[in-house]
Each structure stands twice: as structure tokens, then as C-alpha cells.
Structure 1
Amino acid sequence: MYSLVLVVCAAALTHSALAARVCSKPPEVLFATINVVKTVYDVGEEIEYTCRPGFVPNNGQRKYTCQPTGKWPLNTLLCLPKRCPTPGQLQHGKIDFIDSHYQTLPFLEYSIFLAVTCPPPPLSEFGVLSYRHVKPGNISYYMDTIIFECVPPLALIGNETATCQANGTWSSIPECRAVTCPAPSGIENGFLNFAVRRTYHYNETVSFSCQSRYVLEGPKHSRCEKTGNWSTKPTCKEPCKMPVKKAVVLYEGEKKRVQSDLKEGILHGETVSFFCKNKEKSCAYTVPVQCVDGNLTLPACFKGMSQANFKTDPSDMKPCEDHE
């Protein structure tokens, strides 16, 4: 009988372990579709991404298999817009264009001229170009500038502007490059919001939150930069415990008892005012103290007093009118 129970338990555990070894829905790729769309995938099951019409894949992997760990491999696929061929040359003229990618509206203008100062610059793959002219018209003269952009999610590496030089050439031509950042790490006393463990592309962001009663300071979002690193992450600032066991203080404009109303303390950045006594004038005044990342320092006038020695609590005394 005992052996039978062990066999049944072992079988149940084995079934539970096998049932858990599935993969959830794979990550979405912009401008791509998946050949098999399901909520759950079995271990060993393969999916394949296909770029939508008008878009082409980069060198990233298109097929992925559900791993025994229940995770998908890191996704490296990008679907980028196709580029239209350059229009033909115009005799005694020049073509200015802003963009020639799929699903963009091309801007073409043919201009006839006697002398061209600078020809249209060569564009890097998946680059976008706009012009800024000092003089009216579309001819590029000496000191005219052009502005480069890259089709998302590619990053522009180099100078985003170029200037027409006296020798008839442009000062510099940047590059459009695929940039990725590793899976972001968390923050102390906080956590990432709905972040998937995968590589992230340029300009993608993740957000952070803090644990209960901790205050988030700094940018809530961190961005994948063109360097392949994440931008500055926020920090979670600690709340302050009240440094006295018994006292009446001023908090948010109201009198509060430390021992009952402020048992949990106050949050980072908040201010509490302590009542101090002016013995000469028999009046009381308040000294504000701010909570700074778990640190709250009693004012000197309060530390030097013993509340138990006063027949009247300073918080009940008349306020000093001219105390500085």
C-alpha cells in the first residue's frame, strides 16, 4: 500500500512538471507576423516570423523553438522598410528628395541650373534626408545644411547635420545602424514594470516603480541609447521613522501624535515640524525638518528639551509672534 502511494505521488509530480514546461506567447516583432499564433506552445514547437509586405528582415533569426525551460530564445529579428530605387538622372539638373522608403510620400523636385554647388549626398541604408536652405529654392549652395534621420528602430551614428563645403562636397555623412541593449536590471527597493527579459532596440523604454512607502526619484523611464547602454535609472528613497517615541508635531498643517498618528513615520521629501519652547517669553515655535532618504534629524532646540519636565506641552502653548 505504501509503495502504491509513492508511485501515485511520483506520477502526479511528473505530470505537474511536464504540464508546466510550455512557452507563453512569443514576443511581437514590429511589422512581422507569426505563422502559428497560440496562447501556449509545447516544448520543441517551432514558430517562424515573416515580415509584412513592403518590409525586409535584417540578419536576425526568423525561426525560434520553445525551450525546455519554458522560455523563447532572445529575439534578434528586425523588419525594416524596403527602399525604392533612385530615380533617373536629369540632364542639366538635380533631384532633391527627402525619403524613398516604403509607405513614405516621396518628395521629388527637379531643378534646372547652370552650376551645382553640392550634389545630393549619398544616403546610408534606411536613412531619411531633409534640407535646410539659407536661400529660397532647392539648390544646395555653399554653407547650406542637410539633416539626416534614420528609420526606427535604427540609430543614427555620427553627425545628424552636414554642411555644403566650398569644394562642392558635404562635410560628413552619418550611418544608420541597428543598436540593441541587454535586458535591463532592477533597482534597489524597487522593480521593473512588465519588462520582458529580451534584448531591446534603440529608443525602446522600460519603466520602474518602488516598493510600498518608498518614493521614486529621477526619471521613471529608462531608454535604450545609441551607445547600447540604458539611460539613467531612478532610485527609490527610504521613508523616515520618527526619532522620538512620544511627542506632538505639526504634519500637513495639523497636530499629530508621534506615538499614534505617525507610527509608520513620514515619506522621503515630506516635512514635519517640531514644537520648541521659548522659556523667556513662555511661548512655543516650530522648526521644520525634512525626511531625506531615511534620515530625519531632530532640531537642537527639541533635543535639548525634556517634554516630561514641562507642565504644559509646547504644542499647547501660545505661538511666539516674532521668533526667528
Structure 2
Amino acid sequence: MMDSALLLLFLWALTGTASPQASGSCVERLQGGERKTRACPRTCKSDAECGSKRQCLCDGECGLSCVAPGRTCPWPLPASENSVFRLVSATPSFSALLEVRCKPGFTLPDGSDVTVRRCQGDRQWSGDEPICTEAQSPGHTPAPTCPLPEEVINTFSIHGDASVGTSIRYSCLSGADVVGSGENFCQDNQTWMHPHPVCKKLFCQPPKEVQQGYVVAVQKTEYEVGFDIHYLCKKNYRLDGPQKITCLSNGSWSASPPHCRARCVIPAERSRVVIGGVKRWPFDVTDAMVPHGEIVTFYCKHPKKQCSFTAAQACFDGKLQTPECYLEPTWLQYKLFPHRLVSEIEACAPGDVE
């Protein structure tokens, strides 16, 4: 703590504000090539040369310069992962001091754990942004590593530290596919066990054709990642599956192509059926057909009682079968006794149907 206090007092004495009479204690202005990137205000020797709103003050490596003393530097500063900031002066105004201290276990590049920055006339803290890195124990020697060429670093995301005796894994930054060994081992002689792989951009092959359907896309020999293909079915066919598939980054499609399924003929003529919740005669339905996936409910006669119960069947790609219990009425039954048709008689009680 004593060393830190002495450092702060020394810097305050060296970089504090200076009146023109004290100009002898201010460093001589460095030339442009000697300075770092900061721009210096106008040089001066007395306040009279600076106008009413500025004073001739010592501004670090810029020497005596025309400075607005009321200007402030950024404060508070964003939190740092490995260091803490403390404003030594009362306010962050010109010539104020800022202490930057590394957290335990971390040091600055010169080996110290604390440095002080000064608020300059350009409203910035002096010097480069201090970077605290993990402290190395005395005599510590970094583990030897295998070299990684720049083109490999720029092409891949490398998982692992490339030190001797360890493995690394490659993944392409572009999302392309790794061609070659996706894993490598750093050998004792600091060479890699395998050649570095390469990244190859992947494409999707044209998907299969859909019978009774259309592909809505430009015909290509291969498709780029992210390309969409849309499907439509011919008239009287229904799409079964995704309407759109997308080329993925691994060179495959997001789904298999769909199917275009055919309509089904209603296998009943002289008995009403239920379609979409409505009881209808088959000849009242367009073409006496239902689309793929439609549920058709048939009426069946109780084997022992004068009542009916229902059984449902689904249309699947042109095939719709009647349930085993269904019996198609004869032409005479339909013409002479329509009120006795199975679809027209009273429904069985719930307990009558097993």
C-alpha cells in the first residue's frame, strides 16, 4: 500500500495543473512523431494566449497547452473482468487521477498490479487501456504447442489449446463441412498427427419427384444452403406432408418430399353417410368422392334389433373401404322401403352396441 501511495503522490506532482509561472516544471511538448495517437491542444506560455474560456496548463506529453479546465473524462468506466477502477481525485475533471488495480492473481504487462492514469485536455484518460492478465508463477514456462497456420485460424473454430499431448477439434466458421480429419493430436515433437482439414461448401441434391404433383422451384443440379422448394398437387389430389422443404447446412433437406394423395369413391350408393359432421346421400357429394384423409361414417344394422350404429373409415390415397358391419341396401329396399334403410332407422341405445 505504501508503494501505491508514493506512486500516486509522484504522479500528482509530475502531472498536476501548472500555472504559467510554474512552466519550468512541465515537460516540453513532444513532437508529433514522438507522441502517441492523441491530438494536442494549442501550445502556449501564458493564459493570455488562450482566450477567456481556456487556461495555459500542463497537459502531459503535450506540455503547456490551452485547456478548458472544466472538461471531464469518462466516469464511471465500464466494469472490467480482471481489474477495478478508483477515482483518486474528487471529480473526473482535467488533471484528475484514476487508479487502475489488477484483481488478485492478475498483473499488468510490466509485472506490476497497479497503474495511474490522468485526465487529459482531450477528455481522455492518459495512456493505453491497461490490460490485466493472469499472473505466472516464478519460473513458469508455457507449455509447448503445435503451430496453427493463419489460414487454419481464419477458416476454422478451433476447440482446444494446441499444446503438446492434447487434441483439438475443427468446425468450419462458414458452416460448411469439414473435409478430412475433424480432430488432430499435437505430438511431442510439436507437429500435428494429421494434415489440417479443409472446409467445403455443401449443396443439396435435387429431391425426388412427386407423383401427381409439381415442384415450384428453379430446376438445378444442386441447391445452395437455405434454398426453399415448394410443392403443389394436381387437381383432385391432396398434399400429404410438408408444403415446403429447405436445404440445410449439412447438405440434406429439412424433410422428405410430400405425397400427392388421390380422392376416394364413397363405397355406398343407397345409404346415407356422415361427412364432415353432415348426413348426406353419396350422390349429393361432388363426384361421389372425398379427398384423402377425409373420415366417412357408415351406418350398420344391429344383428338382432331394429336399430343402427355407426362405424368410421378414412380415405387413404384413393382407397376407402366399408366397415365389415356395413351391408349395402338392395335396389328394392331403397325404392320400396326407404324409411327402413339402415341409415334412416332409429339409432341403437348405447348399451345395445358392444
Could you say what secondary structure the match of 2:285 adopts? coil
Per the alignment, residue 162 of structure 1 pairs with: 183
In the alignment, structure 1 residue 211 sits paired with structure 2 residue 234? yes
Per the alignment, residue 222 of structure 2 pairs with: 200
TM-score (norm 2): 0.47
Per the alignment, residue 266 of structure 1 pairs with: 290
In the alignment, structure 1 residue 249 sits paired with structure 2 residue 273? yes
Aligned CA distance change for structure 1 residues 301 and 228 (closer, same or farther; 3 Å): closer
Per the alignment, residue 341 of structure 2 pairs with: 313
Give the 5 Å matches for 1:99-248.
114-116=142-144, 119-120=147-148, 127-131=155-159, 145-149=168-172, 151=174, 154-158=176-180, 161-162=182-183, 164=185, 169=192, 173-179=196-202, 186-193=209-216, 195-203=217-225, 204-219=227-242, 220-221=244-245, 223=247, 232-248=256-272
What's the CA shift string for 1:194-219, capped at 9, x where partnerless? x2234434423322121233222234
Q: Residues of 2 paired with 1:230 and 1:255: CA distance?
A: 41
Aligned CA distance change for structure 1 residues 288 and 155 (closer, same or farther; 3 Å): same
What's the offset of the Cα at 1:156? 3.8
Please identify the structure whose Cα radius of gyration is greater.
Answer: 2
Kindly indicate whether the alpha-carbon contact (under 8 Å) linking 2:265 and 2:288 is maintained by their aligned counterparts in 1: yes
What's the offset of the Cα at 1:257? 2.0
Q: Residues of 2 paired with 1:207 and 1:285: CA distance?
A: 43
Q: Residues of 1 paired with 2:166 and 2:241: CA distance?
A: 41
Per the alignment, residue 109 of structure 2 pairs with: none
Q: Residues of 1 paired with 2:255 and 2:151: CA distance?
A: 29
Could you say what secondary structure the match of 2:260 adopts? strand
Aligned CA distance change for structure 1 residues 287 and 148 (closer, same or farther; 3 Å): same
What's the offset of the Cα at 1:166? 6.6
Q: Residues of 1 paired with 2:178 and 2:170: CA distance?
A: 11
Say what the alpha-carbon RMSD is for the aligned residues: 4.0
Per the alignment, residue 88 of structure 1 pairs with: none
Aligned CA distance change for structure 1 residues 231 and 260 (closer, same or farther; 3 Å): closer
Which ranges of structure 1 fall in alignment gaps of 5 or more residues? 1-109
For these two proteins, the number of residue pairs brought into alignment is: 207
Q: Residues of 2 paired with 1:211 and 1:256: CA distance?
A: 27
Q: Residues of 1 paired with 2:255 and 2:153: CA distance?
A: 26
Could you say what secondary structure the match of 2:263 adopts? coil
State the one-letter code of the partner of 1:214: Y
What's the offset of the Cα at 1:285? 1.1
What's the offset of the Cα at 1:291? 0.8
Aligned CA distance change for structure 1 residues 271 and 122 (closer, same or farther; 3 Å): farther
State the one-letter code of the partner of 1:200: E
What's the offset of the Cα at 1:187? 2.1
What's the offset of the Cα at 1:191? 0.6
Q: Residues of 1 paired with 2:246 and 2:300: CA distance?
A: 45
Could you say what secondary structure the match of 2:268 adopts? coil
State the one-letter code of the partner of 2:229: V
Aligned CA distance change for structure 1 residues 119 and 156 (closer, same or farther; 3 Å): same
Q: Residues of 1 paired with 2:239 and 2:163: CA distance?
A: 50
State the one-letter code of the partner of 1:162: E
What's the offset of the Cα at 1:192? 1.3
What's the offset of the Cα at 1:249? 0.9
Aligned CA distance change for structure 1 residues 129 and 306 (closer, same or farther; 3 Å): same
Could you say what secondary structure the match of 1:301 adopts? coil
Aligned CA distance change for structure 1 residues 183 and 144 (closer, same or farther; 3 Å): closer
Kindly indicate whether the alpha-carbon contact (under 8 Å) linking 1:222 and 1:232 is maintained by their aligned counterparts in 2: no
Kindly indicate whether the alpha-carbon contact (under 8 Å) linking 2:245 and 2:253 is maintained by their aligned counterparts in 1: no
Per the alignment, residue 73 of structure 2 pairs with: none
Which ranges of structure 2 fall in alignment gaps of 5 or more residues? 1-132
How high is the sequence identity, in percent, across the aligned residues?
23
Kindly indicate whether the alpha-carbon contact (under 8 Å) linking 2:206 and 2:222 is maintained by their aligned counterparts in 1: yes
Q: Residues of 2 paired with 1:313 and 1:172: CA distance?
A: 82
Per the alignment, residue 32 of structure 2 pairs with: none
Q: Residues of 2 paired with 1:297 and 1:246: CA distance?
A: 16
Q: Residues of 1 paired with 2:278 and 2:164: CA distance?
A: 70
